[in-house]
Amino acid sequence: MTAPLATLHYPGSLFEVDKGTASDECVIALHSIGVEAHSFSKLFDRLAVTYPCLSYDLRGHGTALALSQFDLNRLVDDAVQVVESCRFAKVHLLGHSLGGVIAALAAARLGNSISHKVQSLSIIASPPTGLAVFGERAQAMQNESRQSIVESTLQRWFGGLEESPALVEAMQYAEQQLNRVPVQSLVSSWQSLAQFSGYESLGAQLPATLLVTGDQDLSTPVAAMQVILAALHQADKTDTELHIIEGTGHMLPLTPPDTLIDALMTHFTVSGATHFR
């Protein structure tokens, strides 16, 4: 039996697609608020042709629903431990939304380690800093109905997008997950985002970084990702790029277009030549 790609130290599931040809590199992906590790299944179908891929259920989500009270530091601790336990020498760390914040903080912390295990960082549709609205949203959710939470979230994630079979499937999955996740998990998640102090002090510790967003994202607009780009360039992270994908919204991993796959694959390949340059 093949050994797991990594170890999760709390009760929850790892989602692995281990068919890639890379001998010493893998992808570890951290998911958004309200969904779970399998939100990367379509993305992994493509990436795993080359790279073994791993995700796990963040606290309060998926198989870890019972762990609904947490903060940002605990989520980052979890990510660091998963990366450190990975049996591959090099990790391409990827995060979506809240997962992007966790991935950035984990990569920065691991950037000071001897192993320099994080080869590259990819951040998809993620906020540049904690905002007051995140804390306000967490507070409001404690008094909202489940239906109201689900409807407002789906609007932020999918509003205004052209309907297609793939979009309908993505929305059905998202609605199912949002009806399942404990409200306390959503509250803890938004409170965790509100705790994020931004990228200004992270640049020196980060590996080559790719930023990706959809041009129709209502939840994390392009302008938010441009703030991250400016902050990292200000910190002399010139190996940081922003890739804007036309006709797409916030939940890019659920309906990954070819342009997303191509951008990630190019980033993973090029990062080997620029790693901590």
Give the pLDDT band of residue 273 (cuts 50, 70, 90): low
In this prediction, residue 277 carries a pLDDT of 37
For residues 28 and 52, is the Cβ–Cβ distance under 8 A? no
Quote the tokens at residue 206: 């980060």
Question: Can you give the C-alpha Rg of the chain in angstroms?
Answer: 17
pLDDT tops 70 at residue 275: no
Describe the strand order of the beta sheet including 25-30 as a list of residue ranges: 14-17, 53-56, 25-30, 90-96, 118-124, 208-214, 240-245
Averaged pLDDT for residues 111-124: 88
**Per mean pLDDT, which range of 94-98, 210-214, 233-237, 250-254 is the poorest?**
233-237
In this prediction, residue 73 carries a pLDDT of 98
CB atoms closer than 10 angstroms to residue 23:
8
Tell me which of 114 and 255 has the higher pLDDT.
255
Averaged pLDDT for residues 26-43: 98
In this prediction, residue 101 carries a pLDDT of 99
In this prediction, residue 91 carries a pLDDT of 97
Quote the tokens at residue 57: 């259920």
CB atoms closer than 10 angstroms to residue 76:
20
Quote the tokens at residue 163: 């309907």
CA distances to 16, 112, 222 from 206, rounded to whole Å, are 25, 9, 21
pTM of the model: 0.96
For residues 196 and 123, is the Cβ–Cβ distance under 8 A? no
Averaged pLDDT for residues 120-130: 98
How does the average pLDDT of the chain come out, rounded?
94
Q: Tens digit of pLDDT for each residue in 143-190?
A: 999 999 999 999 999 999 999 999 999 999 999 999 999 999 999 999
In this prediction, residue 209 carries a pLDDT of 97
Q: Tens digit of pLDDT for each residue in 200-228?
A: 999 989 999 999 999 999 999 999 999 99
Apex 4 CA angle, 55 and 62, nearest 5:
35
Averaged pLDDT for residues 8-20: 90
In this prediction, residue 272 carries a pLDDT of 67
Q: Which domains does the chain have, with CATH numbers?
A: 14-274 (3.40.50.1820)
